[in-house]
Amino acid sequence: MAVVTIVGAGVIGVSWARLFGAAGWEVRVSDPRPDLRDIVDRQLAGLSVTSTSDLAAAASGADFVQEAGPERVSVKEKMFATLAANTRDDVVLASSSSSLLPSVIAQGNPAADRIVIGHPFNPPELMPLVEVVPGPQTSARTVDRATEVYRALGKTPIRLKKEIPGFVGNRLQKVVDDQATYLVQQGVIDVKDLDDLVRASLGLRWATIGPFESGVLGGGPEGMRHLVEHVASQMTFEIGEPDAAGMNDVLDKVEQTYGTGEAAYERLAGLRDERTRAVLKPLGWPEPPEADGPRD
């Protein structure tokens, strides 16, 4: 049985563990959190999983590593130094980082050729995409092997041609999220209506066609050229930027709208997962593993 070491048992690590476990991998989870045993028992029940706070021990003998620890360069540098020292030289060391450059994570690391970004969208067990982002030192073999593993898990790995902060998915997401915050701060719309507006328009559209294809269709038979010349050319307004100092007020509004804590999280995550599962197959994505157990 192939062995995967998952580094970090937070939101992303647990979901990766479920995905690898359901695909028949032996999973080792490493995290210093004191409730690690409890998390594994409650959220990864029925899978072949062991857990330890000792990262070196968890990495030793692994065939693939998927890191999902804190999004801090200094922490990732340390984790990857330990991973480099305790894995065979054919083992891919993939980071789930949302925006950090692989070249920065791999700086000074003797296994820089094995370090690659394998960035999922949350939750990795349901969302098809994994962005595979090589740094300048990442070997072609590492990229190929990571791509092969993600594809075998039923994911859709998309390889970027070169590294860029935030990669592609989160650069696009940041533009939309910043504008959503700006519009709430400007009093144009409230949190719930903004979410409903997106679900009823851009979300549904982008589940079926991408922005460029949408441009082609929006222009009718004359295509995107027509749309750009006749419609997009008139959108000359400034889009503004959110006020970072006012972010707390927006967060208060989000919390008032959706609640906080475990019960709210369980309810919202359950609804999201149910809806996501319902559309994956009709949209042509591979069926994800069955859900079991709580996720908190």
Ligand X SMILES: NC(=O)c1ccc[n+]([C@@H]2O[C@H](COP(=O)([O-])OP(=O)(O)OC[C@H]3O[C@@H](n4cnc5c(N)ncnc54)[C@H](O)[C@@H]3O)[C@@H](O)[C@H]2O)c1
Q: Which residues bind ligand X (CB under 6 A)?
A: 7-13, 30-33, 55, 68-71, 75, 79, 96-98, 119-120, 122
Nearest distance from C-beta of residue 170 to ligand X, angstroms: 8
187 vs 261, beta carbon nearer ligand X: 261
User: What share of residues in the chain are helix, strand, coil (percent, to 5)?
Assistant: 50, 15, 35
96 vs 142, beta carbon nearer ligand X: 96
Distances, alpha carbon 101 to alpha carbons 52, 56, 97, in Å:
28, 24, 8
Nearest distance from C-beta of residue 215 to ligand X, angstroms: 27
8 vs 135, beta carbon nearer ligand X: 8
Rounded Cα–Cα distance for residues 33 and 54 (Å): 11
Q: Please, which residues bridge with residue 131 across strands?
A: 119, 158
> 15-33: string of b/e by CB count within 10 Å (b at 16+)?
bbbbbbbbeebbbbbbbee
Active site residue 131: yes
DSSP 287: P
56 vs 239, beta carbon nearer ligand X: 56
Rounded Cα–Cα distance for residues 207 and 171 (Å): 18
Residue 13, Cβ density class (10 Å: 0-12 exposed, 13-18 middle, ≥19 buried): buried
10 vs 218, beta carbon nearer ligand X: 10
Nearest distance from C-beta of residue 247 to ligand X, angstroms: 18
Catalytic residue among 26, 67, 125, 131: 131
Number of C-beta neighbours around residue 281 at 10 A: 11
Nearest distance from C-beta of residue 141 to ligand X, angstroms: 24
Nearest distance from C-beta of residue 220 to ligand X, angstroms: 37
- Which residue of this chain has its Cβ atom nearest to ligand X in the complex? 10
Catalytic amino acids?
Answer: 131
